[in-house]
Amino acid sequence: MDILFQILIVAAILGAIGIVLGVILSLANKYLIVIEDPRINDVEKLLPNYNCGACGTPGCHAFAEGIVNGEVKKLSRCKPGKPDKNYNPILEYLKDHPNNDGSIVDVKI
């Protein structure tokens, strides 16, 4: 077999594999996407954002996620947080942005 023909076959096989994997990735992106509660990012912005882990989570995003999901019950777990700068603004934000059922996230300072 001619070497050029072999190169063309290999290129065609690799191209076909690339197309199949591209289609699979685009379908996965379309159907497996997880839409995160936008309040998580908003609450994260109100935290000190030191990502120090003193709250017992891997970082501020995980702590914000715990707050919004109702798993975190005390904002003071965030040790660098300040009442006026962090805790109270978070409580006010959550009061203005209730859960889908209308209930307010149960968290205290």
Given the rule CB under 6 A, which residues bind ligand SF4?
47-48, 50-55, 57, 59-60, 63, 78-81
3-state SS string over the chain? CCHHHHHHHHHHHHHHHHHHHHHHHHHHHHHCCCCCCHHHHHHHHHCCCCCCCCCCCCCHHHHHHHHHHCCCCEHHHCCCCCHHHHHHHHHHHHHHCCCCCCCCCCCEC
Minimum separation from the CB atom of position 108 to ligand SF4 (A): 16
Nearer to ligand SF4, 6 or 92 (CB): 92
Q: How far is the CB of 43 from ligand SF4 (least distance, A)?
A: 10
Measured from the CB atom, the residue of 15 and 53 that comes closer to ligand SF4 is 53
Report, in Å, the least distance between residue 19 CB and ligand SF4: 43
Task: Give 25 or 52: the residue with its C-beta nearer to ligand SF4.
Answer: 52
> Of the two residues 24 and 45, which places its CB atom closer to ligand SF4 in the complex?
45
CB of 37 to ligand SF4, least distance (A): 17
Task: Give how far Cα 85 sits from Cα of 26, 35, 106, Å.
Answer: 42, 29, 20
Tokens of 59: 């970082």
